[in-house]
Amino acid sequence: MGVAGLPQSATGQATLLTGVNFAKRLGYHFGPKPNPEIKMYFQPRNASNTQISAGLDDIQSNTSIFSQLFHAGKTASFLNAYPSVYFQKINSGKRNHSVIPLAATSSGINLFNQNDLIMDRALSADFTGQGWHDHLNISDTPILDPVQAGIRLAALSKNYHFSMFEFWESDFIGHKQNFSNAIRLIEKIDLVLKGLLSNWDMEDGGILITSDHGNLEDLTTRKHTKNCVPAIFIGAPAYQQKFSQRVRSIVDIAPFIIELLSD
């Protein structure tokens, strides 16, 4: 990203969603939650908000994938479901959105809730829903095996021109530096991909897997890393060729997606 220090979630996610190198614009990495400058960027500009911040005031506000697709008349969705306690804390001011739900809601997308999870309209952040039972003591939500979760992800994605799923468990496990848990997590991801790919029409859409920063790949440290993140595109050969030609960093992800959906 051309900025000293370790990459962080807020600047990395904001870059993924917009194609703007937020760390370089601000002069520093920031996270995990967005700072005031990033939060203001994702709000629509109006007469009383003509300046965003030093380093960002020369760019148009809220150019996220969600916002651009909304204005282009296309459908977009953020497929993570959130428990009731999350909305209670957001509404009370005790908690702030991270960048991805902030970008989604600022573009008119409603976050999915517990009922959406029960009705199979969304997925839990751990794919399977086991975490809702184990850590939130919510017992009326479904538990899926990883392959089922991948099948569900494929089915839900077909309802929109663009859908996004945020999987932060890899970051959590990376910070804990537990090798056995990291292996189990990767095995779970493999099974989710098995279900996803077995129900995906390669000619009808693409799957893009990437990250806002490194972490899990180096368990010698509990911190984020400066390693290059993976960027994997699965889809029709013509789209794969475009991806290999256009994408060199996370700055290129959002422009590639917008171009793909404009064809």
For the cut 70, the answer to whether the pLDDT of residue 246 exceeds it is yes
What are the start-end ranges of the E strands in the chain? 76-78, 162-164, 207-210, 231-234
Q: Residues 6 or more apart from 154 whose CB is under 8 A from it?
A: 195, 196, 199, 200
Query: Is position 203 within any domain?
Result: yes
Four-point Cα dihedral 227, 78, 112, 159, nearest 10? -140
Give which of 188, 186, 192, 166 is closest to 174, Cα–Cα: 186
Mean pLDDT of the region 26-49: 82
Q: How many helices (H) and strands (E) does the chain have?
A: 13, 4
Q: What average pLDDT is seen over the chain?
A: 92
The answer to whether the beta carbons of residues 97 and 109 sit under 8 Å apart is no
Is the distance from CB of 141 to CB of 129 less than 8 angstroms? yes
Burial of 18 (0-12, 13-18, 19+ CB in 10 A): buried
Asked if residue 1 belongs to a domain, the reply is: no
Over residues 151-190, the pLDDT tens digits come to: 999 999 999 999 999 998 988 898 999 999 999 999 999 9
Average pLDDT over residues 32-57: 69
Question: Taking 80 as the threshold, does the pLDDT of residue 45 lie above it?
Answer: no
- Asked whether residue 4 is assigned to any structural domain, the reply reads no
Q: How far apart are CA 77 and CA 156, in angstroms?
A: 9
Q: What percent of the chain has pLDDT over 90?
A: 87
Residue 48's pLDDT is: 43
pLDDT of amino acid 50 = 42
**Whether this model's pTM surpasses 0.85:** yes
The pair of three-digit structure tokens given for residue 99, joined into one six-digit string: 């960048």
Which residues on adjacent β-strands are paired with residue 123? 80
DSSP 161: S
Which pLDDT belongs to residue 171?
85
Sign of CA dihedral 44, 47, 48, 52: positive
Tell me, yes or no, whether 54 lies in a domain. no
CA distance 187 to 184: 5
Q: What is the pLDDT of residues 131-143, one digit of tens each?
A: 999 999 999 999 9
pLDDT at site 243:
96
For residue 60, the model assigns a pLDDT of: 61
Task: Answer yes or no: is pLDDT of 58 > 60.
Answer: no
**Range 225-245 average pLDDT:** 94
Quote the CA–CA distance of 196 and 146 in Å, as a whole number: 10
Burial class (CB in 10 A: 0-12, 13-18, 19+), 40: middle
In this prediction, residues 36-41 reach a mean pLDDT of: 94
pLDDT category at 49 given cuts 50, 70, 90 is very low
Whole-number percent of the chain with pLDDT over 70: 94
- Residue 249's CATH number: 3.40.720.10
Q: What length does the chain have?
A: 263
Handedness of CA 185, 132, 193, 260 (dihedral sign): negative
pLDDT at 109 over 50: yes
Query: Which residue range forms the structural domain that includes residue 152?
Result: 9-49+59-262
Q: Label the pairing between strands 162-164 and 207-210.
A: unpaired
Question: 118 in a domain, yes or no?
Answer: yes
Contact 93, 84 (CB under 8 A): no
Task: Kindly state whether residue 2 falls inside one of the protein's structural domains.
Answer: no
Read off the pLDDT of each residue in 7-33 and give the average, rounded to a whole number.
Answer: 96
Asked whether 234 and 198 are in contact (CB, 8 A), the reply is no
- The answer to the question of residue 41 being in a domain is yes
Q: For the segment 110-126, what is each residue's pLDDT rounded down to a tens digit?
A: 999 999 999 999 999 99
- The predicted pLDDT at position 172 comes to 85
What tokens appear for 55 in the block? Answer: 């380093």
Look at 35-49, 76-90, 118-132, 222-236 and tell me which has the smallest mean pLDDT. Answer: 35-49
What is the tally of structural domains in the chain? 1
